[in-house]
Amino acid sequence: MLADALLLQLGYNATLVTLGACLLGIAAGVAGTFLFLRKRALVSDAISHATLPGVGLAFIVMVSFGGDGRSLFGLLLGAGVSAAVGLLCVHWLATRTRLGEDAAIGAILSVFFGLGIVILTIIQTMNSGRQAGLEGFLLGSTAGMLRSDALLLAIAAAAVLALVMLLRRPLELAAFDPGYAEAAGWSLARIDLAMMGIVLVVTVVGLKVVGLILIVALLIVPAVSARFWTDRSDRVVLIAGIVGGVSGYVGAAVSAVAPALPTGPIIVLVGFALFLVSLLFSPGRGVLASVLTHWRYQRRVHMRQGLLALAQGQPIYEKLTHRLMYRAGLILPDGVATGDGQAAASKALLDETRWSIVRADQSFAAAATRYDGLTAIEEFLTKDQLREVDRRIAAPQAVL
Amino acid sequence: MSISVVKNSNLDADRAIRTASALSVRGLTVSYGQTPAIFSVDMTVRTGAMTAIVGPNGAGKSTLLKAALGVVKPLAGTVSVFGQPLARMRDRIAYVPQRASVDWDFPTRVIDVVMMGMYRKLGLLGRIRASHRAQAMACLDRVGMSDFATRQIGQLSGGQQQRVFLARALAQDADIYVLDEPFAGVDAATEKAIIAVLKELRDTGRTVVAVHHDLTTVPDYFDDVVLLNTQIVAAGLVSKTFTEQNLQATYGGRLATARADLESTAG
């Protein structure tokens, strides 16, 4: 059944929803990456909550002009306008008053959301309001998704991708080093405006699919997950797009199989699962990798310290050191060095002596920065340099 | 004949630009809230010279630089670059911000940061070609960092980070280099490498302005000095301006402290 859903075999509507959610996920992942890199992830939360009054007011306006008020385009237009107003309020509070951006976000988010709920409640009391289905904007409702809705998503997603492609350099620069960007002649205000515009478009078209409460997750979770897999911002963008797209696709497919489950939250949970995998298993920054790296590093330190102790004829006190060296066949159970142990110990001592000469000499400054107390010096010096160092060990120079 | 006339007029125009001050600031005031960080600052930076901006903590040194670059909006005052308004001349200036001003865990590699120096030239969609990469590598080589091109920037030491920032400015191939505390918290080898590059820039006719905190090295490193404490206290050739009396006037009671700090960090 799930396989059918994943292969888009569950009928027209399910296919529309799945493709739409996938496109939205890609657009949100890509757009959200720059928000995340600029450390303004939570602004998107303010934007999404600020859409609600606009949805309600747009409905009232459309009804009072004689429509049935359910035109998705009209509702989203209202959402966009009211989100833009909310965004301007956040911007004004953060730059013109002593409030920080976090406080401004909190204030605007809750006030606009509260206002939106009041307006929706009023609409519930109107004759034409009962079947409006506006509460679907809170958590998303994909059940009645039309071909035109999916088309709107596709166009918006394409526009977002094109804009990000066009503006990728200033966006990257503004996120990494805003002062430099400004000095180099990019207008930071305009870059930020463009970024917020892109996020606003994603948020507004995403309302119908994941809803305003959860859209922030679709913007941020893919970027955060992608960061675990690469150290290059262009690849973070790419991977975030993939993570977002997969979340949308799989999430929508799962909820097509189990119609009782709401699409938006399922999409977010799939995204979260991908995040969890990244957090635990990514090779560079993942939790497992850092535990392993630390474990290996600790063992190398213990071995090195043990060898140096052997070379200097000192006893080995630490149990871990003792155990490691015994297992490596370097010492006997009573702590006495084996033949291998003696060879390795004198090698370690020689290495340490060579390092101390290199580190004391300005002419080896480049190599000296590589000292970590563990790595053999041969990895950084040429044979000639090594001979020079050894010459000095044999005939120590007068201390200045 | 006519050719040489054209050449001459070009030369004249060229000379006019060169003799004009590289960076000129008039009546610049920047205020955070009600307290001015810098007040009515007039400053002229000589073309082809190395100028140090010196003053106690909180004197507004960084603010002066940022306002002169248009990064901070001044309350009053004008900035001109080679006699032209700043807005038209931005690509002629390369800025090296304080190292601590960015997040070094940002997902980018050393070579990518240097490439950022060419974004203005590349424009929004200009393709990055092999020649651009070679140029970026050459800039890294000038600061002795070409071995680190593909490292993530977070793996660098402070001194190495500072060199990468300088390489990015070099990639801009600007006429004026503006540096905010380039020697703060860097190792001796880096300081030597940076000053060598800056002197090389000066010797090829570029202008260098740097906020500097180490009073002992001012005479060795710089040609001109600007002594700042919210207002300009004195400015001019180091040989004439960098006097005990002027320093006393700039630092006041803090002069002894400033020197003691230096000695303790040097020792």
Beta carbons of B70 and A182 less than 8 Å apart: yes
pLDDT digits (tens, 9 = 90+) for B86-101: 988 998 999 999 998 9
How many folded domains does chain A comprise?
2
The answer on pLDDT for A256 being more than 50 is yes
Co-location of A367 and A227 in the same domain: no
pLDDT digits (tens, 9 = 90+) for A63-77: 888 877 778 889 999
Which residues of chain A approach chain B closer than 8 Å at the C-beta?
Answer: 37, 39, 166-167, 169-170, 172-173, 175-177, 179-180, 182-186, 227, 230-233, 235-236, 362, 365-366, 369
Co-location of A161 and A201 in the same domain: yes
Co-location of A33 and A152 in the same domain: yes
Beta carbons of B69 and A39 less than 8 Å apart: no
Q: Which residue has the tokens 């939205």?
A: A24
The arithmetic mean of pLDDT across residues A80-96, rounded, is 94
- Amino acid A393: pLDDT: 79
Q: For chain B, give the percent of residues with pLDDT over 70.
A: 89
Count of CB atoms situated within 10 Å of the CB of B190: 25
Beta carbons of B107 and A232 less than 8 Å apart: yes
Task: Name every chain B residue with its beta carbon within 8 A of the beta carbon of A230.
Answer: 107
Nearest CB partner across the interface for B106, out of A166, A176, A185:
A176
Beta carbons of A179 and B120 less than 8 Å apart: no
Task: Name every chain B residue with its beta carbon within 8 A of the beta carbon of A37.
Answer: 106-107
**Is residue A399 situated within a structural domain?**
no
Measured between alpha carbons, how far is A231 from A235 in angstroms, rounded to an integer? 8
* Three-point CA angle A37, A40, A43, nearest 5°: 140
**Is residue A400 situated within a structural domain?**
no
Best residue in B73, B106, B115, B168 for a mutation probing chain A (most A CBs within 10 Å):
B106
Q: How confident is the model at residue B265 (pLDDT cuts 50, 70, 90)?
A: low
- Amino acid B12: pLDDT: 53
- Amino acid B7: pLDDT: 45
Count CA atoms closer than 13 A to B207's CA, side-chain side: 24
Nearest alpha-carbon partner for A374 in A325, A306, A316, A304: A304
Nearest CB partner across the interface for A231, out of B66, B71, B107:
B107
- Amino acid B117: pLDDT: 95
Which residues of chain B approach chain A closer than 8 Å at the C-beta?
Answer: 66, 69-71, 90-91, 93, 95, 97, 101-103, 106-109, 112-113, 116, 119-120, 122, 124-125, 144, 152, 157, 160, 168, 172, 178, 187, 189
* Closest CA in chain A for residue B147: A366
Helix (H, G, I), strand (E, B) or coil at A263: helix
Backbone phi and psi for residue A235, each to the nearest 5 degrees, phi listed first:
-75, -30
Nearest alpha-carbon partner for B208 in B246, B242, B182: B182
- Amino acid A372: pLDDT: 81
Q: How confident is the model at residue A178 (pLDDT cuts 50, 70, 90)?
A: very high
The arithmetic mean of pLDDT across residues A2-30, rounded, is 88
| Mean pLDDT across chain A | 89
CA distances from A371 to A192, A255, A301, B151 (A): 42, 55, 13, 17
Q: How confident is the model at residue B169 (pLDDT cuts 50, 70, 90)?
A: very high
**Is residue A272 situated within a structural domain?**
yes
Beta carbons of A233 and B95 less than 8 Å apart: no
Measured between alpha carbons, how far is A398 from A222 in angstroms, rounded to an integer? 61
Give helix A263-281 / helix A233-257 axis angle, nearest 10°: 130
Beta carbons of B93 and A227 less than 8 Å apart: no
Co-location of A338 and A280 in the same domain: no
C-beta separation of B191 from B205 below 8 A: no
- Amino acid A389: pLDDT: 84
- Amino acid A396: pLDDT: 57
Which domain does A351 fall in, by range?
288-394
**Is residue A103 situated within a structural domain?**
yes
Best residue in B32, B88, B102, B168 for a mutation probing chain A (most A CBs within 10 Å):
B102
Nearest alpha-carbon partner for A143 in A128, A130, A133, A153: A133
Task: Name every chain B residue with its beta carbon within 8 A of the beta carbon of A95.
Answer: none
Task: Name every chain B residue with its beta carbon within 8 A of the beta carbon of A362.
Answer: 189
pTM of structure: 0.86
Q: What is the ipTM of this complex?
A: 0.88
| Mean pLDDT across chain B | 88
What is the DSSP annotation of A362-376?
GGGHHHHTT--SSS-
Co-location of A349 and A234 in the same domain: no
Co-location of A209 and A163 in the same domain: yes
Q: Is the Cα dihedral A280, A281, A287, A291 positive or negative?
A: positive
CATH number, domain of A206, equals: 1.10.3470.10
Nearest CB partner across the interface for A183, out of B69, B119, B122:
B69
The answer on pLDDT for A150 being more than 70 is yes
The answer on pLDDT for B128 being more than 80 is yes
Measured between alpha carbons, how far is A177 from B92 in angstroms, rounded to an integer? 19
C-beta separation of B95 from B69 below 8 A: yes
Residue A61, both tokens: 């306006």
Of B2-11, B76-85, B156-165, B189-198, the poorest mean pLDDT is in B2-11
Final residue in a domain of this structure, among A285, A315, A341: A285
Measured between alpha carbons, how far is A311 from A306 in angstroms, rounded to an integer? 9
Co-location of A292 and A148 in the same domain: no
Task: Name every chain A residue with its beta carbon within 8 A of the beta carbon of B172.
Answer: 184
Co-location of A315 and A388 in the same domain: yes
- Amino acid A132: pLDDT: 67
Co-location of A249 and A300 in the same domain: no
Q: Which residue has the higher pLDDT, A66 or B266?
A: A66
Q: Which CATH number fits domain B20-259: 3.40.720.10, 3.40.50.300, 3.40.50.2300, 3.20.190.10?
A: 3.40.50.300
What is the DSSP annotation of A198-213?
HHHHHHHHHHHHH-TT
- Amino acid A73: pLDDT: 86
Where residue A75 falls (left for φ over 0; alpha for ψ -120 to 50; beta otherwise) is alpha
Measured between alpha carbons, how far is A116 from A110 in angstroms, rounded to an integer? 10
Backbone phi and psi for residue B178, each to the nearest 5 degrees, phi listed first:
-115, 120
* Closest CA in chain B for residue A189: B71
In angstroms, the separation between the Cα of residue A42 and the nearest Cα of chain B is 18
Best residue in A176, A227, A230, A236 for a mutation probing chain B (most B CBs within 10 Å):
A176
Q: Which residue has the higher pLDDT, B196 or B4?
A: B196
Where residue B40 falls (left for φ over 0; alpha for ψ -120 to 50; beta otherwise) is left
In angstroms, the separation between the Cα of residue A318 and the nearest Cα of chain B is 31
The arithmetic mean of pLDDT across residues B179-202, rounded, is 93
The answer on pLDDT for A390 being more than 90 is no
The arithmetic mean of pLDDT across residues A298-309, rounded, is 91
Residue B229, both tokens: 């404490």
Co-location of A306 and A281 in the same domain: no
Measured between alpha carbons, how far is B47 from B29 in angstroms, rounded to an integer? 23
Co-location of A267 and A323 in the same domain: no
Measured between alpha carbons, how far is A226 from A26 in angstroms, rounded to an integer? 13
CA distances from A308 to A333, A336, A368, A374, B210 (A): 18, 14, 20, 11, 46
**Is residue A358 situated within a structural domain?**
yes
Backbone phi and psi for residue B29, each to the nearest 5 degrees, phi listed first:
-125, 130
* Closest CA in chain B for residue A364: B189
End-to-end Cα separation, chain B, in angstroms: 65
Nearest CB partner across the interface for A183, out of B71, B144, B189:
B71
Nearest CB partner across the interface for A177, out of B66, B97, B124:
B97
Co-location of A17 and A166 in the same domain: yes
**Is residue A107 situated within a structural domain?**
yes
C-beta separation of A74 from A62 below 8 A: yes
The answer on pLDDT for B254 being more than 90 is no
Final residue in a domain of this structure, among A285, A311, A326: A285
Of A374-388, B13-27, B226-240, the poorest mean pLDDT is in B13-27
Final residue in a domain of this structure, among A285, A313, A335: A285
Beta carbons of B172 and A182 less than 8 Å apart: no
The answer on pLDDT for A364 being more than 70 is yes
* Three-point CA angle B56, B60, B62, nearest 5°: 105
C-beta separation of A210 from A219 below 8 A: no
Tell the burial category of B238 from Cβ atoms under 10 Å away from its Cβ (0-12, 13-18, 19+): buried
Extract long-range pairs of A349-357: CB within 8 Å, 24+ residues apart: A349/A307, A349/A308, A349/A311, A349/A312, A351/A376, A351/A377, A352/A308, A353/A393, A354/A386, A354/A389, A354/A390, A354/A393, A357/A389, A357/A392, A357/A393
- Amino acid B5: pLDDT: 42
Measured between alpha carbons, how far is A160 from A199 in angstroms, rounded to an integer? 8
**Is residue A384 situated within a structural domain?**
yes
How many residue pairs bridge chain A and chain B with CB atoms within 8 Å of each other?
Answer: 81
